[in-house]
Amino acid sequence: MNALHPLARLRTKYVAPPISRILIHRGTAGDAVGVSEYGDRIRRILEGKSHLVVDVCSDGANWAAPSATVAQGTFMRRFERLDLNGVDELIECFHGNCGDAARYAGTGEKGITSRMGRNDGSLGDVLSQGAYTALDRVLQLSPEEVINRLSEIGLTGRGGAHFPVAQKWRFARTHSDQQKILVVNAEEGEPGVFKDRHMLEGDPHRLLEGVLIAHHAVGFEAVYIYVNGQARQAQLSLEKALSDAGEAGIISGECWDRNFQLTINIRSGAGGYVCGEESVILNSIEGKRPVPRYKPPFATDVGLFGKPTVINNVETLCAVTTLFDNPPLQTKLISLSGDIPRAGLYEVPVDGAMTWSGMIANAGRNPQEIKALLVGGPSGEFIHFQQFDDVLEMSKLGAGGVVVLNSNADIQHITNSLAAYNKRESCGECTPCREGSERLTALLENTQGNEKKIYELVEIMTESSLCQLGGMAGRPVLSALEQFKHEFDNS
């Protein structure tokens, strides 16, 4: 009989990597700015020690890429915007001469990004950084206790619609006599959002842990993880994690002497914004045309292959894991881009402490030089600079895509391009959106005297579109017209 704790047993088999090493931040982001070249150089210089130079994913700080981090236990120093001098400094630091104070490497020290860009993808590495400890705690709780915890904390979905997670899980659980399915929405097709890709590339075990917690709470027969077809690196890293966790007896439950009886499938999507809409994913997995379904019935009653189905976003399930940390932590990932020096992925607390100004300043820009933010992309709205002192509210953040617009940005041009995007992406299944999105782009060509028509059209689209692509297409338009009307008048 092996008296060791299950995770301790795993850690003896999958050992932690050396404490002192150099992390090369690759991933889609690092590769896009040629970080490997520096990685190769560092390996050549360190010759006999090149095994201490490991490839990891981006840590979310895209602005710093190409970058590499010297990690020595809890000491971390990231070398940003690497060049040949930077490589020399990094080597010096690795040999003990680090100069100024240690600079922290990741987007968040705790929370769901805590391992992102700091693990080499091996099971040993993530286990040594706390992977599967939340699951281990959850397994001591009853399903009801798990769901109660989520509802006490008020966790909402991170895919954009902010539906309470506990409620969705409870709906599915009412079908106690039926086989149930979990679909993980990893389509991430909303322009301006890049968080789920980062999660999957950088810490896919976090998602798998969330999936297993959901399974403990609801009880599924199968899981389908629907990954955006173009997110190749994300899919590869997820596949590896699934295979490693499978081999280690984590997915089967064997490691805890249990039998989870769960199959996890990975499916890849084939394009389009609407493919992220949950019922489109169901059709897509069933091999049908990518169009939304009429609701009701809701997926929690009749979903994939007619079975009760929970659909959750990647970040949602990752967030579930941190609620079982001590103390529990609620955060939101922000994909920050546009005119801002430190663009990248941020994990911000949602305790009502962060303002838009604070976020902008934190990313290296004087908020007074900023005219507006575009929050939520083609389904979102503009935040006028006069509102910058408001705190970030979950309900306003959508999926967390934020584009910073300076005083030169042309709001009319951006509004028109968002409307044109919605028109292109309309799947054509319902008339209000198919015809409406076409008509809206035409009216936007000349807003003078057409404002009433625009408002009426948006009202129809909002109220009668089959899905929220059409339903929200008018949002950026109205918010631009309401707050930046003068920019349209001058045209």
Partner 1 sequence: MKEETFDSTSEAFREAKIAVGKLPKKRDQLLPALEIFQQKLHWLPEASIEYVANHLMLPLSEVYSIATGYSELNLLKPTPFKWHVCMGVACDLAGASELITCVDNVEQIDCQFLCALAPVVVDQHEQLYGRVTTDNFQEWVKK
Ligand X SMILES: Cc1cc2nc3c(=O)[nH]c(=O)nc-3n(C[C@H](O)[C@H](O)[C@H](O)COP(=O)(O)O)c2cc1C
Q: How far is the CB of 260 from ligand FES (least distance, A)?
A: 38
Q: How far is the CB of 435 from ligand X (least distance, A)?
A: 18
| Number of residues in contact with ligand X under rule CB under 6 A | 23
The DSSP-derived string for 77-117 is EEEPS--HHHHHHHHHHHTT---S-----SS-SSSTTTTTT
**Interacting residue with partner 1 among 39, 106, 192, 292 (CB under 8 A):** 192
Calculate the CA 271 to chain-centre distance: 18
Write the interaction track for ligand FES spanning residues 181-200; mark x where CB under 6 A is met and - where it is not: ----------xx--------
User: What does the binding site for ligand SF4 look like in residue numbers (CB under 6 A)?
Assistant: 274, 292, 426-430, 433-434, 465-467, 469-470
Collapsing DSSP states into helix, strand and coil, what is residue 215? helix
Strand partners, 370: 406
Q: Is residue 344 a contact point for partner 1 (CB under 8 A)? A: yes
Q: How far is the CB of 139 from partner 1 (least distance, A)?
A: 31
Nearest to 322 by CA among 165, 441, 486: 165
Q: Is residue 271 a contact point for partner 1 (CB under 8 A)? A: yes
Secondary structure of 112-181 in HEC code, one letter for each residue: CCCCCCCCCCCHHHHHHCCCCHHHHHHCCCCHHHHHHHHHHHCCECCCCCCCEHHHHHHHHHCCCCCCCE
Residue 126 or 404 having the CB closest to ligand FES: 404
Contact partner, 163, from ligand X, ligand FES, partner 1, none, Cβ < 5-8 Å per class? ligand X
Q: How far is the CB of 204 from partner 1 (least distance, A)?
A: 17
As a whole number of angstroms, the distance between CA 136 and CA 264 comes to 19
Residue 94 or 273 having the CB closest to ligand FES: 273
Write the interaction track for ligand X spanning residues 128-167; mark x where CB under 6 A is met and - where it is not: -----------------------------xxxxx-x----
Q: Is residue 377 a contact point for partner 1 (CB under 8 A)? A: yes
Cβ(385)–Cβ(367) under 8 Å? Answer: yes
- Helix (H) / strand (E) element for 424: namely helix 411-425
Residue 150 or 285 having the CB closest to partner 1: 285
Q: How far is the CB of 292 from partner 1 (least distance, A)?
A: 13
**Interacting residue with partner 1 among 165, 250, 370, 405 (CB under 8 A):** 405
Q: Is residue 316 a contact point for ligand X (CB under 6 A)? A: yes
Q: Is residue 31 a contact point for partner 1 (CB under 8 A)? A: yes
Contact partner, 244, from ligand X, ligand FES, ligand SF4, none, Cβ < 5-8 Å per class? none
Contact partner, 188, from ligand FES, partner 1, ligand SF4, none, Cβ < 5-8 Å per class? partner 1
As a whole number of angstroms, the distance between CA 419 and CA 415 comes to 6
**Interacting residue with partner 1 among 169, 194, 220, 356 (CB under 8 A):** 194
Q: Is residue 189 a contact point for ligand X (CB under 6 A)? A: yes
Residue 186 or 211 having the CB closest to ligand FES: 186
As a whole number of angstroms, the distance between CA 132 and CA 250 comes to 9
Cβ(457)–Cβ(439) under 8 Å? Answer: yes
As a whole number of angstroms, the distance between CA 304 and CA 248 comes to 29
Contact partner, 466, from partner 1, ligand SF4, ligand X, none, Cβ < 5-8 Å per class? ligand SF4
As a whole number of angstroms, the distance between CA 27 and CA 250 comes to 25
As a whole number of angstroms, the distance between CA 26 and CA 280 comes to 32
Collapsing DSSP states into helix, strand and coil, what is residue 53? strand
Cβ(325)–Cβ(138) under 8 Å? Answer: no
Q: How far is the CB of 272 from ligand SF4 (least distance, A)?
A: 9
**Interacting residue with ligand X among 129, 268, 464, 468 (CB under 6 A):** 468
Q: How far is the CB of 383 from ligand X (least distance, A)?
A: 21
As a whole number of angstroms, the distance between CA 71 and CA 373 comes to 35
Q: Is residue 394 a contact point for ligand X (CB under 6 A)? A: no
- Residue 81, Cβ neighbours under 10 Å: how many? 11
397 φψ region: left (φ > 0), alpha (ψ -120 to 50), beta (else): alpha
Footprint of ligand X (CB under 6 A) = 157-161, 163, 185, 187-190, 273-274, 276-278, 311-313, 316, 467-469
Residues that bind partner 1 (CB under 8 A): 28-29, 31-33, 62-63, 65, 188, 191-194, 197, 229-232, 267-272, 275, 284-291, 305, 335-339, 343-345, 374, 377, 401, 403, 405, 409, 413-414, 417-418, 421, 424
